[in-house]
């Protein structure tokens, strides 16, 4: 059976959110740089972990964008859910940030990671919901 190639709104939103998240992680959401002695604070490692996850998100959302079969999309979405949840947990639970809540990693990086992770999660959950309906319909 030949499937018609169709891009859904959630595919595009996911891709745009992932791309924007990565760009902002390097700009508006970046934590403070190295200390005077060249060493890094803990937030740097949390940030790097989030950047690595953001690259993964971007890659998966790109594949999600061009994938055609709802079953494939469903699998990719499940992966995105996992990555987004891991990203959410990095700043406070998995790695942690610096000492003061007034520091840049708390005021900018953490907020940015929370906002984008939740937006990506909501979008991907909506996409899963739609994909499940499609898969059921196809069967």
Partner 1 sequence: MKFSTKLAIKNIKGHSARSSALIILAGLLSASVFGGSLIVKSLRNGLHSYEQRLGADIIVASEEAIDSGKYESILLQGVPGYFYMDDSVIEVIEGIDGVESVTPQFFLASASSGCCDTLVQIVGFDPDSDFAIRPWISESYDGNINDGDVIVGCNINIPDSNRYKFYNVDCNVVAKLEKTGTGLDSAVYANMNTIKQMMESSSQIGFGYFEDVEPEHAVSSVLVNVKDGYSVTDVQRNINLGIQGVRAVSSKDMVSNIAGGLGAISNIIGVLVVIIWLLSFTILTVAFGMIVNERVKELAVLRISGASKKMLSRILIIESIILSLIGGLAGNALTALIFFPFSDSLKLSLNLPVLIPDFSYVIVIFATSILTSIVICAITSTVSGYRITGKDTGLIFRDGA
Residues that bind partner 1 (CB under 8 A): 35, 39-43, 96-103, 106-108, 110-112, 114-115, 118-119
CA distance 96 to 137: 44
Which residue lies nearer to partner 1 by CB, 71 or 101? Answer: 101
If residue 36 lies in a helix (H) or strand (E), which one and from where to where? Answer: none
Which residue lies nearer to partner 1 by CB, 62 or 122? Answer: 122
Report in angstroms how near the CB of residue 9 gets to partner 1 at its nearest. 9
- For residue 94, report the phi and psi dihedrals to the nearest 5 degrees: -80, -50
C-alpha distances in angstroms, 120 versus 3, 40, 69, 94?
A: 27, 29, 21, 20
Report in angstroms how near the CB of residue 23 gets to partner 1 at its nearest. 17
Report in angstroms how near the CB of residue 122 gets to partner 1 at its nearest. 8
Q: Which among 20, 91, 96 is positioned nearest to 50, based on CA atoms?
A: 91
Report in angstroms how near the CB of residue 42 gets to partner 1 at its nearest. 4
**Contact status, residue 139 vs residue 117, Cβ threshold 8 Å:** no
Which residue lies nearer to partner 1 by CB, 79 or 111? Answer: 111
Which residue lies nearer to partner 1 by CB, 35 or 69? Answer: 35
């Amino acid at each position: 059976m030949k499937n018609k190639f169709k891009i859904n709104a959630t595919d595009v939103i996911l891709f745009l959110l992932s791309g924007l998240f990565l760009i902002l992680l390097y700009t508006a959401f970046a934590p403070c740089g190295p200390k005077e002695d060249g060493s890094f604070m803990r937030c740097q490692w949390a940030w790097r972990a989030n950047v690595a996850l953001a690259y993964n998100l971007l890659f998966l959302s790109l594949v999600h964008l061009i994938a055609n079969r709802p079953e494939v999309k469903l699998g990719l979405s499940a992966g995105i859910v996992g990555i987004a949840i891991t990203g959410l947990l990095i700043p406070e639970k998995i790695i942690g940030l610096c000492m003061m809540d007034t520091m840049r990693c708390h005021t900018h990086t953490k907020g940015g990671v929370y906002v984008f992770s939740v937006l990506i999660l909501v979008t991907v959950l909506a996409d899963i919901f739609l994909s499940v309906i499609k898969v059921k319909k196809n069967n």
